[in-house]
Amino acid sequence: MTDGDRERTVVFDSAAARRGALLRAGALAVGVLLAAAAAVHAVVPVADPAWVRTRVAALGRLAPLAFVALQAAQVILAPVPGQLLGGVGGYLFGTARGTVYSMTGVLLGSAAVFVAARSYGRPYVERVVDADALDRWDDLVGRTGVAGLFVLFLFPTFPDDLLCFVAGLTDIRLRTFLAVVLVGRTPSFLAVAYAGGELSSGQLLPAGAALALLGVATAAVYALRDRLGLADSG
């Protein structure tokens, strides 16, 4: 990719990319609702809050630690979307504790990826991250700085791990980066934790409303992409 190509490459540089962003946001909400429906209708013990909490209680003090470690691992290894685990956290621990545990894991995982990128440099990042994706995000963060990074973290379906790698290659300080992650990621994790908590009580309507609100907020940020510096550069 030439320097000129990098200058023109931004997050929403094509209709396909724009459709993809909306589809990912919609898929997250649909995935949570389908998983909940499957649990309610097909996996009865897992859908029983008393059964789940009994199993979690059996881990004692290790239950929150295990969940935090799992949430940190999803940032580092990205096997599953973090917000899906966030919904599980709300289901198991309630809205407040689920959000706190999720964000603790997200912050730990984000710090680990950031420090790895900062310590080992671009050659290391290029070995573990797709080159085209790295160019795209690298260009955006370089052009918009901390403000652009914050807006990206507001989108619940954007790749945490990749953004952390990119941030580690900039001159952003670790504490600034973690503050951006905390403020940018908390709203979506709060929403899915609330949805998970409501599902644990069998309240499907409030859970669906929370996910719908998250989708609307994501669409609003997307609609403001011109003002936020995320649209075509022309």
How confident is residue 20, by pLDDT bands cut at 50, 70 and 90?
A: low
Residue 121 backbone zone (phi > 0: left; psi -120 to 50: alpha; other: beta): left
Q: How far apart are the first and last CA of the chain?
A: 18
Measuring CA to CA, how many Å separate 17 from each of 2, 9, 201, 218, 230? 20, 11, 37, 15, 12
Q: Which two tokens stand for residue 116?
A: 């790895």
How confident is residue 8, by pLDDT bands cut at 50, 70 and 90?
A: very low
Determine the Cα–Cα distance for residues 108 and 102; give it in Å rounded to an integer: 10
Residues 6+ apart with CB under 8 A from 135: 1, 6, 9
Between 87 and 80, whose confidence is greater?
A: 87
Find the mean pLDDT for residues 144-171: 83
Q: What is the pTM of this model?
A: 0.70
